[in-house]
Amino acid sequence: MDNRKYLAVFIDIDGTLIKSDHSISPATADCIKQVLDKKVLVVLVSARPMHGILPIAAEIGLTQFPIASLNGAYIAKAGEMIFESVINLDLVSKVHEKLSQYPVTPIYYEERNWYAESQNPATDKEQKITEVPLTLLPFADMMSGWQNRNTGPAKILVIGDPIVVSELESKLKIEYQDQLNIYASKPPYLEIMGKGASKLDAVKLVSKQFGIDKENIIAIGDNFNDQEMIAYAGCGIAMGNAPDKVKAIADYVTDTNNNDGVAKALEKFIA
């Protein structure tokens, strides 16, 4: 029996909090309310951009709590930025050159805006989870804009055939492992962020701000970009729909996202 008192829960969104139809089940929403009533901090930690998270946060009463978007590259609390990481533009250019050699779709995310060179089914799918319209620009124009504004993308999302994406992941990690955080969030998706931007870094930053030790943290996720925070947390929970490698590092495996896995985990350890 786990008798620890958990003070914070960090929850991934896609494949974890929400069902495959992008809805939150009433059981999960009710359970999160019960957890909040116990004065437990609940933090959404997602690869989504902030504008793809806020409607979900509003639905379950989390808009005043910290939210980590773009795999931890952008963290805000009650609309105020508390952390931001952008990728060095020299690295952005080098990675783009490498990606252009493969049949993949790179998408470049800022805190609010997102960019691609062309529209296709991959960008259309991403558009469905955000109200902010995609900006179509040649890559050279993206670079000019970032240079002029002294900024850069917080995340590069690469979408393509899983075999191609896996090959790209291996090659990029060999070349840029010391300069970039590179994770597969699911087989067709590769997420690229600057060093210091990861879900684990977000968990550490937020828990430090609230004075919460790792032993009193729960982290729940379903994929490879969740592995580090699951391994770090006092109680790391993998979803029933997670890959076996993710389940293997978890302290507990709950039910699937389509069968109230988050609610069942929270009921077991907190509510």
pLDDT, position 130: 86
Question: Distance from CA of residue 213 to its chain's centroid?
Answer: 22
- The residue among 74, 110, 71 whose CA lies nearest residue 89 is 110
pLDDT at 136 over 70: yes
Hey, what CATH topology would domain 89-194 get? 3.30.1240
Query: What is 121-184 written as a DSSP string?
Result: HHHHHHHTT-SSPPEE--HHHHHHHHHHTT---SEEEEE--HHHHHHHHHHHHHHHTTTEEEEE
> What is the band of 66 on the pLDDT scale with cuts at 50, 70, 90?
very high
Name the pLDDT band for 1 (thresholds 50, 70, 90): very low
**pTM for the full predicted model:** 0.91
Q: Where are the domains of the chain?
A: 8-84+197-269, 89-194
Can you give the pLDDT at residue 79?
86
Say yes or no to pLDDT of 180 above 90: yes
Residues 19-29 have pLDDT tens digits of 999 999 999 99
Q: pLDDT value at position 4?
A: 80
Asked whether residue 99 carries a pLDDT value surpassing 90, the answer given is yes
In the 8-state DSSP scheme, what is residue 259? Answer: G
- Judged against a pLDDT cut of 60, whether residue 97 lies above it is answered with yes
pLDDT of residue 2: 64
State the fold for domain 8-84+197-269: Rossmann fold (3.40.50)
Do 8-84+197-269 and 89-194 have matching folds? no
Mean pLDDT of the residues in the chain: 95
Judge whether 8 and 41 are in contact, CB under 8 Å. Answer: yes
CB atoms within 10 A of CB 225: 28
Q: How far apart are CA 256 and CA 247, in angstroms?
A: 12
Please name the residues in contact with 1: beta carbons below 8 A apart, sequence gap of 6 or more: none
> Does the structure show a pLDDT above 80 at 271?
no
Note the pLDDT of residue 196: 86
Distance (Å, whole) CA 16 – CA 241: 9
Task: Give yes or no for a contact between 265 and 247, defined as CB atoms under 8 angstroms apart.
Answer: no
